[in-house]
Amino acid sequence: MTTKIRYSIIRVEVGSVGEIVEISHKLPAHLKVCTGFIARHTKGLELPIDQPEIGLLALEFNSRKQLLINDVIGYQASVQEIPDYQKVNIPLESGQLVTGYFMDTEQVDAALFQPYLISIYLRCEMEVNTKVEKCTTT
């Protein structure tokens, strides 16, 4: 049996100071397990220095059955290389929701706030049925 990796991207738009953005994302039904994730700022902010925290992320899997990711999202002023996936091992029920929230915790005045985008990359695997079915066409 072979496994195939599929990547799923959840994008979160943050438009105001302290905003709480709810996440509700349906994963394809054929995915069986999530094995990694990256959550990072991808667009919008232009700050001179790195920020260790711009927001908090919580993700629940299998339609709120399991709370499995709580993470702090930071900001890198200059990205040298994309970070590695953080390893997780989350068995997935078929066709269930990934839910949660991202909350902006940047401490800036509303006038100085810049809208930005957070992307959550989920690395999931699907089992491939190796049975070869007979062709029925003649």
Identify which range of 29-37, 52-60, 106-114, 128-136 contacts another protein by CB under 8 A: 52-60
> Which part of the chain contacts another protein (CB under 8 A), choosing from 53-61, 84-92, 117-125, 126-134?
53-61
Contact call for residue 104 and another protein (CB under 8 A): no
The angle formed by the CA atoms of residues 105, 111 and 112, to the nearest 5 degrees, is 60
Per-residue tokens: 119: 């992307």
Cβ nearer to another protein, comparing 62 with 76: 62
Whose CA is closest to 75, among 116, 128, 34? 116
Q: Tell whether residue 63 is a contact of another protein (CB under 8 A).
A: yes
Question: Closest by alpha carbon to 37, among 123, 96, 134?
Answer: 123
Q: How far is the CB of 45 from another protein (least distance, A)?
A: 21
Give burial (CB, 10 Å; 0-12/13-18/19+) of 69: buried
Q: Could you give the dihedral angle defined by the CA atoms of residues 80, 82, 83 and 89, in that order, rounded to the nearest 10 degrees?
A: 180
One of 20, 29, 77, 79 touching another protein (CB under 8 A):
20
Q: From the CB of residue 97, how many other CB atoms can be counted at a distance below 10 Å? A: 17
Asked whether position 103 contacts another protein by CB under 8 A, the answer is yes
Any contact of residue 60 with another protein (CB under 8 A)?
yes
The verdict on 88 binding another protein (CB under 8 A) reads no
Q: List residues near another protein by CB under 8 A.
A: 18, 20, 22, 56, 58, 60, 63-65, 67, 70, 100-101, 103
